[in-house]
Chains A and B, each alone.
Chain A
Amino acid sequence: MEKTWNNKAWFFVTPVLVLVAISAVIPLMTVVNYAFQDTFGNNAFFWAGTSWFEEVLTSERFHSALVRNLIFSGIILAIEVPLGILVALAMPRKGFWVPVCLVLMALPLLIPWNVVGTIWQVFARTDIGLLGATVSGLGIDYNYVQNPLDAWITVVVMDVWHWTSLVVLLCYAGLVSIPDAYYQAAKIDGASRWAVFRYIQLPKMGRVLLIAVLLRFMDSFMIYTEPFVVTGGGPGNSTTFLSIDLVKLAIGQFNLGEAAAMSLIYFLIILTLSYVFYTVMTNVGVEKPQKGGDA
């Protein structure tokens, strides 16, 4: 069918463009401007060239926070994606328990981030928290305030508790959209449970899994509130992720130029990794068109 061209459609796009400009483009431009200058307040700025970028790029503190953040995102994806798929596969497709499961799954997503942090801060305490007291009662030396490994385990488990539901709900949406005919055909062919998962369910979940991986990567890479409330970035700097470090730099030390440079590098890393994820996941198994086209 011939595509209908109507330039009046641009008017419908205008509000979105204005919103994106105000909420994203203009602040980003301001950050770029700040990244090349130094300020001591009072709207007085001094040209600093690329010195803030050089400072951030050679900063041991930035490297450590970046590595911590990459490890954290890797752990989160390695746990939440397979776990989310497993839970989604185990959920009922029909009957009374469907809405019950869906509501239970949605509950952690409805809790504000700082409340999640507060819940886990109390929950993991060895004196009054159910988890902390139980683990200590079992004779395990657990103290997330003093031990970096315990702090990491607490932050990871908290994130898994908070966000696996999102992966579950997305995968579940993908699973219920598979027509029964596919399962019937697999049954006739005598396909195993694994074959059904590998050749029917997993490909059909591809798109939603892409969204789940992207959302979880971006969220975990930008994580701030929950670990800040639970550990405050400690013990030492062991759970100081990039966003926590950035806030310390910008607000704690009022070093706006360096914080702006760090924000831009942080933004570029997220943008690149998200683009790579998106490109790889949308091109896996896609038939290649013919070569050609102009530059």
Chain B
Amino acid sequence: MIDLSWMAWTWPTAIFFVVIFSMIALMGVWEYVSPGGAPRVGIFRFETTRGDRLFVSLLGSAFICLGWLYFTDLSLWYALIVCAAFFILVFKTV
């Protein structure tokens, strides 16, 4: 077994990466089922594909969490709900 202790793994960060990689894998499956990336022009008036929308969602979620930490003392779990809503918003409108 490879020793990965130098990477300082914890369960929460491991779960975080599993979720991210699962999303990317899911995008692969989605592309296989429905090829072409579903390009369209959304509210920002430029063309985006599914990959772009995932990228914008993840990036936006990171900033939502950082903003949450900066502006509130509430639990990050609430921020996760906001992130989920943001994901839906991006995939529907961008």
Q: Which residues of A contact B (CB under 8 A)?
A: 26, 29-30, 32-34, 36-37, 39, 43, 45, 47, 50, 53-54, 57-58, 265, 268, 271-272, 275, 279, 283, 286, 288-295
User: Pick the contact of A29 from B5, B7, B41, B69 — CB < 8 Å?
Assistant: B7
A45 touches B38 (CB 8 A): no
B10 touches A39 (CB 8 A): no
CA distance A293 to B9 in the complex (A): 40
B38 touches A272 (CB 8 A): no
B13 touches A294 (CB 8 A): no
User: Pick the contact of B7 from A33, A275, A288 — CB < 8 Å?
Assistant: A33
CA distance A272 to B7 in the complex (A): 26
B13 touches A36 (CB 8 A): yes
A291 touches B59 (CB 8 A): no
**Residue on B nearest A264 in the bound complex, by CB:** B62
A283 touches B46 (CB 8 A): yes
Contacts of A289 in B (CB 8 A): 39-41, 47
User: Pick the contact of A54 from B7, B34, B62, B69 — CB < 8 Å?
Assistant: B69
B59 touches A32 (CB 8 A): no
**Count of B residues near A, CB < 8 Å?**
30
Interface: B55 (CB within 8 A): yes
Contact A50 to B76, CB < 8 A, known contacts A30-B7, A268-B59, A289-B47: yes
Contact with A along B33-55 (1 / 0, CB 8 A): 01000111100011100100101
A33 touches B8 (CB 8 A): yes
CA distance A34 to B7 in the complex (A): 8
Contacts of A295 in B (CB 8 A): 38, 50, 53, 91-92
Interface centre among B13, B34, B39, B63 (most CB of A within 10 A): B13
A272 touches B5 (CB 8 A): no
User: Pick the contact of B47 from A26, A45, A283 — CB < 8 Å?
Assistant: A283
**Residue on A nearest B90 in the bound complex, by CB:** A295
Contact A53 to B69, CB < 8 A, known contacts A32-B16, A33-B13: yes
CB distance from A41 to the nearest CB of B (A): 12
Interface centre among B5, B9, B66, B92 (most CB of A within 10 A): B66
Q: Which residues of B contact A (CB under 8 A)?
A: 5-10, 12-13, 16-17, 34, 38-41, 45-47, 50, 53, 55, 59, 62-63, 66, 69-70, 76, 91-92
Contact A53 to B66, CB < 8 A, known contacts A37-B8, A289-B39, A293-B39: yes
Contacts of B16 in A (CB 8 A): 32
Contacts of A47 in B (CB 8 A): 10
Contacts of A53 in B (CB 8 A): 66, 69
Contacts of B91 in A (CB 8 A): 295
A45 touches B8 (CB 8 A): yes
A293 touches B8 (CB 8 A): no
**Residue on B nearest A279 in the bound complex, by CB:** B46
Contacts of A57 in B (CB 8 A): 66, 69-70
Sorted nearest first, the 4 A-B pairs with minimum C-beta distance are A293-B40, A293-B38, A283-B46, A33-B8
**Residue on B nearest A26 in the bound complex, by CB:** B7
Contact A265 to B10, CB < 8 A, known contacts A272-B59, A289-B47, A294-B34: no
A265 touches B66 (CB 8 A): yes
